[in-house]
Amino acid sequence: MTTLRLASAFILSAGLAGPALLPGTAAADETCMSPYMTKISGQEDFVYVWTLGMDGVGDEQDKLVTVAVNPSSPDYGKVVHTLSVGGRNEAHHAGFTDDRRWLWGAGLDTSKIYVFDVHSDAGQPKLHKVIEDFVAASGGVVGPHTAYALPGRMMLTGLSNNKDHGGRTALVEYTNEGEYVATHWMPTDDNLQGAEKTGQYADGYGYDVRVLPRRNLMITSSFTGWSNYMMDFGKMLKDEEAMKRFGNTVVVWDLHSRKPEKVFDVPGAPLEIRCAWGPENNYCFTSTALTSKLWLIYADERDDWQAKEVATIGDPSQVPLPVDISISADDRLLWVDTFMDGKTRLFDVSDPFHPKQIYEREIGKQINMVSQSWDGKRLYFTSSLLANWDKKGEDDEQYLKAFEWNGQALEPTFAIDFIAEKLGRPHIMRFGSYALYGQAPAASATTELARRD
């Protein structure tokens, strides 16, 4: 698809001008978290929503919104706490430390990182620390995105740099206490850092990160830089040069040494990475936003890592724009959200080389993130992609919606209109539980350590 055709399809769709558990184990928790994290078992009590401030809505500030989601709570389905952080930073992704005491929320515009205390009172998080020198400490990385738990460390992916605000960037490592450790730059054509370039690209772009500890594997994907993600969506689509500035690579790293090993061509901005949980399942999925494909990163029969396109998501000619994905705890199902048509699609990935779509449902006019409970019975969806990329007018719906999955269909349980509640644009979600910290635990909730070596 040419750049102009791609832009036209975007505009048409958006209406814009300008430890492995056995299947069936009763446990809660997002299925796509770090394997090093303390895990919740039982019903989650809260969903924390990292929310973008919105011009003319409430206090207009970025904030952490806490929603009660335990059906036994008298506040079920309601906002029970909000914590504004001051200003608008392009709040985007957030992640827990391995001990789950601290939630790190990042801003893609200002590159500030907000560290929230979620352990003192799970229902009322507190702002513990603000890391304001991320760019300087990292040596010029801009746009902290994924905050991913490693033992005693947080690995943050960057999206950009302070030299040209393009997509070349790095991984940045911190201690759980918020002290800078190291910067690991993405391999590029002019500096492969010992990595094997398997195709046409070594663009140096970044986005997401995941690990398979037992394989000593770390995987990163790629998106675009500050100059694109902070640009008005309609303007960007008409800018032919801007449309060339998207990532086309997935990189496989040595987890222990933090050294890149192979660079794969995965054209069309591969976004979220979701790795299988099963001890014999040596693969991860990613989806490409611009080309609407599912890709498999896998170990072949010679135990060598490869990348392969395995499925199409919707009608690529209409550019549905796949965004977030979520793999089930038994590795059999994969939920895929597509921003432009507001749909979530469910794929049977029991044969990871031949995914098959088995269900779809429109969630709203636009959709972005999905979080799934470990037992697969509860799913939560939010709407905002980026402040300047969300749809305009009546299509600019901003919500948190909860559903139960009965094995055949999604059944609505509650919904919160974030504009009506004067909250803003809801982005990523993370689960919280009283039981993790011994605070008035809900009935039958327990905690366990779920770590994979």
Q: What is the pLDDT of residues 52-82, one digit of tens each?
A: 999 999 999 999 999 999 999 999 999 999 9
Confidence of residue 28 (pLDDT cuts 50, 70, 90): low
Domain ranges of the chain: 3-16+32-449
Is the pLDDT at 450 greater than 60? The verdict is: no
Confidence of residue 442 (pLDDT cuts 50, 70, 90): very low
User: Could you give the C-alpha distances from 372 to 123, 381, 388, 431, in angstroms and in order?
Assistant: 20, 9, 27, 10
Let me know: does 37 contact 49? Beta carbons within 8 Å. no
- What are 171-226's pLDDT values in tens digits? 999 999 999 999 999 999 999 999 999 999 999 999 999 999 999 999 999 999 99
**Which residue is listed with tokens 């960037």?**
169
Beta bridge partners of 314: none
Identify the CA nearest to 268 among candidates 330, 325, 333, 224: 224
Structure confidence at residue 209 (pLDDT): 98
Structure confidence at residue 39 (pLDDT): 79
> In this structure, what are the phi and psi dihedrals at residue 409, rounded to the nearest 5 degrees?
-155, 160
Is the pLDDT at 372 greater than 90? The verdict is: yes
User: Could you give the C-alpha distances from 447 to 27, 28, 88, 159, 347, in angstroms and in order?
Assistant: 10, 10, 35, 34, 30
- Measure the CA–CA gap between 314 and 288, rounded to whole angstroms: 12
Confidence of residue 24 (pLDDT cuts 50, 70, 90): very low
Let me know: does 433 contact 122? Beta carbons within 8 Å. yes
Instruction: Output the pTM of the full model.
Output: 0.92
> In this structure, what are the phi and psi dihedrals at residue 309, rounded to the nearest 5 degrees?
-70, 130
Structure confidence at residue 91 (pLDDT): 98
Q: Which CATH class is domain 3-16+32-449?
A: mainly beta
Q: Pick the range with the lowest mean pLDDT from 35-44, 212-221, 231-240.
A: 35-44
- What are 85-104's pLDDT values in tens digits? 999 999 999 999 999 999 99
- Measure the CA–CA gap between 208 and 148, rounded to whole angstroms: 9
Exposure string over 35-74, b if 16+ CB within 10 A, otherwise e: bbbbbbbbbbbbbbbbbbbbeebbebbbbbbbbbbbeebe
Supply the DSSP symbol for 442: P
The DSSP annotation for 390-427 comes to S--GGG---EEEEEEE-SS-EEEEEEEETTTTT--EEE
- What are 268-280's pLDDT values in tens digits? 999 999 999 999 9
Helix (H, G, I), strand (E, B) or coil at 322: strand
Residues ≥6 apart with Cβ < 8 Å to 16: 10, 233, 234, 237, 391, 392
Is the pLDDT at 446 greater than 70? The verdict is: no
Beta bridge partners of 57: 54
